[in-house]
Amino acid sequence: MIQAIGRRSISAIEAVGRVGQFVADMVRGLRDVGIWARLVVIQMRRIGVDSLPVALFIAAFTGVVLALQASYTFTGAVPLYFVGTLVGKTMMLELGPVLTGLALAGRVGASMAAELGTMKVTEQVDALETLAYDPQSYLVVPRVMAATLMFPVIVAFAIAVGIITGWLTSLALLDLSTPDFIKGLKLFYLFKDVWFGLLKSATFGFTIALVGCIVGLGTRGGAEGVGRSTTRTVVYSAILILVLDAFWAVVLL
Amino acid sequence: MIEFQDLYKGFDGKAVLQGLSLKIRDAETVVIIGYSGTGKSVALKHIVGLLHPDAGDVIVDGQAVSTLDRDALTALRQGIGYVFQFAALFDSLTVADNLALGLRRRELTEEEIEDRVQEALALVDLSGTGERMPAELSGGMRKRVGIARAIALRPRYILYDEPTTGLDPVTSAVIDRLMVRTREHLGVTGVVVTHDMRSAYTVGDRIAMLYEGRVRQVGSVAEIQQTEDPVVRQFIEGRAE
């Protein structure tokens, strides 16, 4: 029992050390601007354009549900224009960043882990090194940087769509006018709501890409290994997003 | 010159290389043969610093590979071409871009890179395939593109990891001829890892048999063919017992 705890503790400490080493290598990889600069743009397009439909789809339905649930909760107790307040605040502070983050952990993180894992097991990463490229500069830096920069953009669109569908739902299904919805939206609005959500989403993007790269490049054992890495990336990313979400709430709110 | 100096390497507690020592002289091709899992590919990866030895070292042009910093290792790798067992072509790049990728790390203009790519493709009889994707190529063609990618760099050394494994006899012969042609045309030093004895006899100046993590016997093709060592004999004759 004690031995098992000891082994697990050592393995956990080793894992932390490996992540630290990986991040240090990534920072060192930033030196080769000539390698990663062009690739960042390609990755930004892949992450941004490819992820937008999923993120907007989720946000659209979240906005609908938020409006309906707010109305259901407020009926008879709170003025209905508070629906706008709840939809706006919730989309900006929490559901926009977190739901998008969780969805993209599956979409972006899994895709990175699968791609890099396949490259690893087919020796493409070794080939890259023999061609005098640092895999950190060529593979990791562009992905992590692109995800960090693009997640806030995707989340901004998601927030906007969520609010719009919340507003449309209020018009169509609730007895709420546009001026009332906007009145509610403005009621407790703070600029901090926006930057808090976007900052949070940037850290989610960084984390998802980093996990995808670490797990992907650590893949062993053929197709089965790639499958394991993909699953592991989604699970680790989802956990870290929720932990980070709580962390930012404690630190910044 | 490449020299393995008393090289040790293990994985997860299992010893693979156990005191490998071998010298590869300039402009010769040495073929490393041996059973699967005896560390042939592991030895090759130490030459370019893809693996770090547990003890001992590989000396390339007087430099101990495991002691090189990142920049020195990059410089060393620019002089070595590596042909991987399954070619390790980049799936997302065309054949031409696969060849050009390594060249873009050098001080070359786009025109020079294009010329080198075309020249290397011609040398492996694959002119006109530059715009194709690796997935569209047969196994033999992929291996030839892998060799072209190494040749395009105009390296001092080329390392071949199981270049004929998984190929039919005719395609294997084509790859063998290509390796011989590469040595004759470019005068490069070659290290070939294989367990294909026909290929070993065709391309090797010397053959080294790796057994239990170290060199069991090294000698010219004729010396290996006439060996009295029962382990080497059994291997080169492909006898079950």
Residue B98 lies in a domain: yes
Q: Which residues of B touch A132 (CB under 8 A)?
A: 74, 77-78, 102, 105
Residue B222 has pLDDT above 90, yes or no: yes
> Is residue A237 included in any domain, yes or no?
yes
B140: domain range?
90-154
Of B45, B77, B86, the CB nearest to A132: B77
pLDDT, residue B71, reads 87
Does the residue B165 lie in any domain? no
How many domains does chain B divide into? 1
Could you report the per-residue pLDDT of B176-217, keeping only the tens digit for each? 988 888 888 888 999 999 988 999 999 999 999 999 999 999
Structure tokens at A213: 């790269």
Min Cα separation A123/chain B (Å): 5
**Reported confidence tier of residue B218, pLDDT bands at 50, 70, 90:** very high
* Tens-place pLDDT, residues A150-184: 999 999 999 999 999 999 999 999 888 999 999 99
Q: What was the pLDDT predicted at A160?
A: 96
Q: Give contacts of A123 with chain B, Cβ < 8 Å.
A: 84-86, 88
What is the pLDDT, as a whole number, of residue A52? 93
Q: Does the pLDDT of residue B172 top 90, yes or no?
A: no
Write out residues in chain A with pLDDT < 70, as ranges.
none
Predicted local confidence at residue B8, as pLDDT: 94
Q: Residue A4 has what pLDDT?
A: 87
**Residue B86 touches partner A, C-beta closer than 8 Å:** yes
Report if residue B115 sits inside a domain: yes
* Structural domain count of chain A: 1
Mean pLDDT of B121-132: 90
CB contact A46 to B (< 8 Å): no
For residue A219, is it within any domain? yes
Q: Is the pLDDT of residue B163 over 80?
A: yes
Confirm whether the ipTM is greater than 0.95: no
DSSP chain A: -HHHHHHHHHHHHHHHHHHHHHHHHHHHHTT-HHHHHHHHHHHHHHHHHHHHHHHHHHHHHHHHHHHHHHHHHHTTTS-TTHHHHHHHHHIIIIIHHHHHHHHHIIIIIHHHHHHHHHHHHTTHHHHHHHTT--HIIIIIHHHHHHHHHHHHHHHHHHHHHHHHHHHHHHHHHSS--HHHHHHHHHHT--HHHHHHHHHHHHHHHHHHHHHHHHHHHT--SHHHHHHHHHHHHHHHHHHHHHHHHHHHHHHH-
- Dist. CA B51–CA B82, nearest whole Å: 14
Does the distance separating the beta carbons of A133 and B105 come in below 8 Å? yes
Interchain contact A127–B (C-beta under 8 A): yes
Whether the Cβ atoms of residue A103 and residue A55 lie closer than 8 Å to each other: yes
CA distance B77 to chain A (A): 6
pLDDT of amino acid A211: 95
Tell me if A88 is assigned to some domain. yes
Range of the domain at A200: 31-252
